[in-house]
């Protein structure tokens, strides 16, 4: 009888240990980027994210960086980000990030463009004292839908996140999240572009809990 009770307890505890929460979201990203002088470049972005079934602001991100273009294919940035996470019925959680970012154009396979973005983040949050380290790696590929024209490009990318240490505010070393995007890049006047599509975000919230966000993603890059 004890063995039967133990088996039944384990059977009912497994679903609780492997909980998956899903949400529908909208992310809007407005980014300005360009040259300060010669090979000194910058970018600045504002990114509101609407979640809980598109009912409220889930997160607001403000990020900027200064970089140096070492060659036509390699640019290195130092940046800073401020992130606000609203908490219903409580105080907002604020996160500060310093980051280093390497952009690398990898080539033009299959008549498209392949690129990489590597970002190392140092993170502090208002609900803890520790500094968290996180590594992010994005592989991006775009290809013109019409040969010889950049008016509309098919676009896919994947970005993996790995936490490099544990913190007192909840980060756990290891796999953090994966973002996968499919959509299109539309050319605008000048060198500006609009990216629109579907982004799937899988977040490991530890203790068997996983969050999957289904995101309508809209990004405007204003280049000058």
Q: Long-range contacts: 105-113, Cβ < 8 Å, 24+?
A: 105/72, 105/73, 105/74, 106/73, 110/143, 111/143, 111/144, 111/147, 112/141, 112/142, 112/143, 112/144, 112/153, 113/141, 113/142, 113/143
The pLDDT of residue 9: 44
The pLDDT of residue 187: 95
Going by pLDDT thresholds of 50, 70 and 90, the confidence category of residue 18 is: low
* Residue 217, pLDDT above cutoff 80: yes
Is the pTM value of this prediction over 0.85? yes
Going by pLDDT thresholds of 50, 70 and 90, the confidence category of residue 208 is: confident
Across 114-119, average pLDDT: 98
pLDDT tens-digit series, residues 20-75: 999 999 999 999 999 999 999 999 999 999 999 999 999 999 999 999 999 999 99
The C-alpha atoms of residue 189 and residue 179 are separated, in whole angstroms, by 29
pLDDT tens-digit series, residues 81-106: 999 999 988 899 999 999 999 999 99
* Residue 214, pLDDT above cutoff 90: yes
The C-alpha atoms of residue 155 and residue 217 are separated, in whole angstroms, by 12
Q: Which has the closest alpha carbon to 203: 56, 64, 25, 65?
A: 25
CA angle 214-218-220, nearest 5°?
155
Could you state, in order of their start, the residue ranges of all structural domains in the chain? 23-223
The bridge status of strand 20-37 relative to strand 210-223 is parallel
Residue 39 tokens, joined: 């090979």
Q: Which has the closest alpha carbon to 142: 173, 186, 176?
A: 186
pLDDT tens-digit series, residues 117-174: 999 999 999 999 999 999 999 999 999 999 888 899 999 999 999 999 999 999 999 9
The pLDDT of residue 31: 98
* Residue 6, pLDDT above cutoff 50: no
Q: Are 17 and 207 in contact (CB under 8 A)?
A: yes
In CATH terms, 23-223 corresponds, of 1.10.1740, 2.40.160, 1.25.60, 2.60.120, to 2.40.160
Three-class secondary structure of residue 8 per DSSP? helix
The C-alpha atoms of residue 148 and residue 106 are separated, in whole angstroms, by 20
């Amino acid at each position: 009888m004890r063995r039967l009770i133990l088996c039944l307890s384990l059977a009912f505890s497994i679903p609780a240990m492997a909980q998956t929460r899903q949400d529908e979201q909208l992310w809007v990203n407005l980014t300005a980027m360009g040259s300060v002088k010669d090979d000194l470049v910058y970018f600045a972005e504002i990114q509101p994210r609407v979640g809980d079934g598109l009912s409220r602001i889930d997160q607001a991100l403000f990020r900027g960086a200064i970089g140096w273009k070492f060659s036509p294919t390699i640019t290195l940035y130092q940046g800073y980000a401020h992130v606000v996470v609203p908490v219903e019925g409580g105080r907002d959680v604020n996160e500060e990030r310093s980051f280093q970012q390497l952009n690398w154009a990898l080539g033009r396979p299959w008549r498209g463009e392949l690129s990489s973005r590597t970002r190392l983040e140092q993170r502090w949050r208002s609900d803890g004292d520790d500094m968290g380290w996180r590594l992010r790696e994005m592989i991006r590929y775009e290809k013109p839908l019409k040969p010889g024209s950049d008016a509309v490009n098919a676009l896919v990318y994947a970005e993996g996140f790995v936490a490099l240490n544990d913190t007192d505010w909840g980060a756990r070393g290891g796999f953090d999240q994966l973002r996968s995007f499919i959509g299109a890049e539309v050319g605008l006047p000048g060198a500006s572009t609009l990216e629109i599509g579907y982004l799937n975000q899988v977040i490991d919230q530890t203790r068997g809990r996983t969050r999957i966000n289904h995101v309508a993603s809209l990004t405007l890059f204003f280049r000058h």
